[in-house]
Structure 1
Amino acid sequence: MSQHQNANKDQFRPEDHAAEHFLLTTVVGSYPKPKWLNRAKELYRDPEHGFDADDYQEAKDDAARLITNEHERAGLDVVVDGEMRRNEMVEYFAHRIDGYEFNGPVKVWGHNYFDKPSVVSEVEYDETWLVDEYEFTASATDRPVKVPITGPYTLANWSFNEAYDDEESLAYDLADLVNEEIAKLVEAGARYIQIDEPALATTPDDHAIVGECLERIVADIPEDVRIGLHVCYGDYSRIYPEILEFPVDEFDLELANGDYDQLEVFKDPEFTKDLAFGVVDVHDAEVESVEDIERNIEKGLEIVPPEQLVVSPDCGVKLLPREVAYGKMKNMVEAARNVEKRLDEGDLEVQSRAAPADD
């Protein structure tokens, strides 16, 4: 475990948190957009309407403020704006990185299309990507704000490469740009950054490339800035325990959707980082009961002790009905607080970590 890790998590503990134990609650990132925001986007794109850029900006601001408030009402310790300003996790960033261009949508499965970008020249950092988004969200809440960023490996893997000799060198250049953006975010006050690398789960043999990308990303980033890595939906046995070498504080993993079939993967060797543990299934439109979520949290405590556990959904919840997403968040927070109380009272036994032997 990195030396700053526990203090790194404790900085997000609310001042009025009554329990001795603290299971940090947060979300992965995306959240269902209000239906009127999608309508506003249609109006903005329709030249027949007088709905201009300022009108659309106001709609996005209102949505971001609304969802941030919804996260507060659910009781989350760390909030995001639900990615109200983002369309798709690669496309959004590709529009902001010099060297990318778009040539039209590509069919990816069924009747679904993805506006897959092409890298046509060396990628370069120009204007900031997320600083305005972060500053707006931070001004709309008194709670800590997490900033999700699509990672360089996924930005490279999910794009056409027409400029670099190989995907690896493209990913490394993108990692340097992500490092620049994080430095700007830190300057603006951000203390919790999540790198999203869904492509790692589909190409696990490239974990060494992702590791090198992360080394570049965290270079010269202050130790009090919490860096998480989100990897969803894959065979984790193909990247564990290698990922423990990655220079991050927290791994955010999807396990609820697979009914915790992969739980044993992380028990040997010992999980030495913080674990953001998916306790609600984002592919299930039923709201789990508080009791069921408590049992899921207990499964996380089979892997790490409470001080290393973060409670979150499996993944982004944007595809759920909004009332379902809110119900899951609210029950998740209540379950976490109940588990904290049981830990405080000694009603829940957990495996304690043995002190490391001196070398």
Structure 2
Amino acid sequence: MTRPPFRADHVGSLLRPARLAEARQKWKRGEITAEALRAIEDEAVREVVALQESVGLRSITDGEFRRDYWHLDFMWGFDGVEPSEEEFVVPFSGGKEFIAPAARATGKVRYPAGGIMREHFRFLKSVTKRTAKFTMPAPTMFRHRSGTKVINEQVYASADAFWADLGRAYNDAILDFASMGARYIQLDDVNSCVLCDSDMRARIKQQGEDPDRVLDRYIGALNAAAAGRPADMVCTTHMCRGNFRSEFVAKGGYEAIAEKLLSQVAVDGFFMEYDDERSGDFAPLRFLPKGKMAVLGIVTSKRPALESKDALKRRIDEAAKYAPIEQLCLSPQCGFSSTHHGNNLTIDEQKRKLAHIVEVAHEVWGEA
């Protein structure tokens, strides 16, 4: 395969080395300059690029090393969007809570003239000859369990107007990255999978919305974001049920969303979480359209133990009962460090997971 997603792929975020985490905290405390932090980030990105290349991956990310959060850092970059004084609290399994400022529209949402994270991508592209992959939170994340709270009613008279502007802003972002040479963009979308969870659907109804209409809104936003991209640019989505310090936020199979989402979202592939029973069975893959790829996230990034090759191959065979094996790929179910905290495994254990994926892909498809 010359076009991503590749048979062996990965979601994007990787565990931060201790010296990078320490440097970021020092910068926040005013103990080092932004320039000093950037130099440490640059060195860490070079090293994590080398790690990915050494195990045989063809899609290369910067590990999201310059971010604190997989989503908020990017979301706050739009004109008209600011961190809210209200804290964003998400209860995860294991009694853990993700707490950060919420994002709120304080003006018309636009992609800024100076771009968002341009320098992140440019540096990544300069240090690898392989396919540089850039991840960004999907526009759906602006809703994330806050209902309409993200929308400033003094700025937007209707939710339709807000979502239309948001879709255009995301489209401008993707086209901007295309102009810098990006040819592999991933939109990270937890919210669609929230709609797989019956408890979450009930909560949305309590907020006065229809979960199926919310899904329609999400599909429209994703399609607006990906519209008009260059023919040689691949755009995928990544769907999971939350990933924070090895814990999750939602559960439930894809059946509630699969037919609409897989058939209507105009992207090239879907990274799908499938590392345990929370994600249900592979039957929803029957809705995968011809020509689109499903990347099976059957290797967990939450725990260090390696899945056996035989077990992974059996699961790939099971998935192939519902979608042609030629349309399937392999990856972890999510990133290894969706936030700066990271999941509960070591960098060496992470490397073994990635190498394992490459090896299994070669044995199943004859390529990675």
TM-score class, shorter? 0.7 to 0.9
Q: Which residue of 2 aligns with 1:335?
A: 360
CA contact (8 A) 1:102 1:115 kept: yes
SS of equivalent residue, structure 2 residue 270 = strand
- Separation in structure 1 between the aligned mates of residue 23 and residue 176 of structure 2, nearest angstrom: 30
Structure 2 residue corresponding to 1:190, chosen from 182, 189, 194: 182
SS class of match (2:237): strand
Partner of 1:38: 21
CA shift for structure 1 position 84: 0.7
Among 258, 261, 266, the alignment partner of 2:277 is: 258
* Deviation (angstroms), 1:139: 1.3
**Deviation (angstroms), 1:335:** 0.7
**Equivalent pair of 1:291/1:335 in contact (CA under 8 Å):** no
Preserved CA contact (<8 Å) 1:230 1:253? yes
Using a 3 Å threshold, how does the CA distance of structure 1 residues 11 and 201 change in structure 2: closer, same or farther? closer
Question: Quick one: structure 1 residues 124 and 271, their matched pair in 2 at CA, closer, same or farther if it must change by over 3 Å?
Answer: closer
Distance 1:128 1:142 in 2: 24
Runs of 5+ consecutive residues of structure 1 not aligned to the other structure: 1-8, 14-22, 344-359
1:216-256: CA deviations, max 9, x gaps? 22222122211111111343111121111211111111112
In 2, the alpha carbon distance for the partners of 1:107 and 1:218 equals 29
User: Aligned pair in 2 of structure 1 residues 35, 197: CA closer, same or farther (>3 Å)?
Assistant: same
Q: Are 1:294 and 1:336, in contact at CA under 8 Å, matched by a contact in 2?
A: no
Alpha-carbon deviation of 1:209? 1.2
What residue identity is the alignment partner of 2:45? A
**Count of matched residue positions in the alignment of Structure 1 and Structure 2:** 322
SS of alignment partner, residue 116 of structure 1: strand
C-alpha separation in 1, matches of 2:89 and 2:324: 44
Residue identity in the other structure for 1:154: M
Q: Measured at CA, do residues 261 and 202 of structure 1 come closer, stay the same or move farther in structure 2, by a change above 3 Å? A: closer
Query: Does residue 56 of structure 1 match 2:37?
Result: yes
In structure 2, do the counterparts of structure 1 residues 283 and 12 end up closer, same or farther at CA, with 3 Å as the change threshold?
A: closer
TM-score norm. by structure 2 comes to 0.80
- Cα-Cα RMSD: 2.3
- Counterpart of 1:216, as a letter, is A
Superposed counterparts of 1:107-256, under 5 Å = 107-109=89-91, 110-126=96-112, 127-157=114-144, 160-162=150-152, 163-203=155-195, 205=212, 206-233=214-241, 234-243=252-261, 244-256=263-275
With 231-240 and 133-142 compared, the bigger mean Cα shift is at: 231-240
Residue identity opposite 1:164 in structure 2? Y
Q: In the TM superposition, what is the alpha-carbon distance from 1:166 to its structure 2 partner?
A: 4.5
1:287 aligned to 292, 306, 318, which one?
306
Aligned equivalents of 2:239 and 2:272: distance in 1?
6
Unmatched 5+ residue regions in structure 2? 196-210, 242-251, 338-342
Q: Secondary structure at the match of 2:14?
A: coil
Question: What's the secondary structure of 2:354's corresponding residue?
Answer: helix
1:59-74 superposed matches below 5 A: 59-74=40-55
Equivalent residue for 1:27? Answer: 10
Q: Aligned residue for 1:99?
A: 80
Give the match for residue 3 of structure 1: none
1:86 pairs, out of 67, 81, 85, with: 67
Could you tell me which residue of structure 2 aligns to residue 350 of structure 1?
Answer: none
Shift of 1:338: 1.0
> Structure 2: which amino acid aligns with 1:189?
G
Verify the 8 A CA contact 1:156 1:171 in the aligned structure 2. no
Q: What is the identity, as a one-letter code, of the residue corresponding to 2:294?
A: L
TM-score (norm 1): 0.82
Greater gyration radius: 1
What is the identity, as a one-letter code, of the residue corresponding to 1:202? V
CA distance 1:307–1:130, change in 2 (3 Å): farther
Partners of 1:316 and 1:12 lie apart in 2 by: 17
1:12 Cα deviation (Å)? Answer: 4.9
Structure 1 residues 108 and 241, CA, compared in 2 at 3 Å: closer, same or farther? closer
Please give the per-residue CA displacement for 1:259-300, whole angstroms capped at 9, x wherever unaligned.
Answer: 773212223x46432111112012222122333333333333
* CA distance in 2: counterparts of 1:256 and 1:139, whole angstroms: 33
* 8 Å contact from structure 2 (residues 238, 272) kept in 1: yes
Q: Which amino acid aligns with 1:96?
A: G
Contact 1:90–1:155 (CA<8 Å) still a contact in 2? no
Cα distance, 1:91 vs. partner? 1.7
Cα distance in structure 2, aligned partners of 1:101 and 1:45: 19
Q: Deviations over 1:45-79 (max 9, x none)?
A: 223x3x11100111111222211211111211212
Q: CA deviation at 1:111?
A: 5.0
Q: Which amino acid aligns with 1:45?
A: K
For residues 333 and 351 of structure 2, what CA distance do their matches in structure 1 show?
Answer: 14
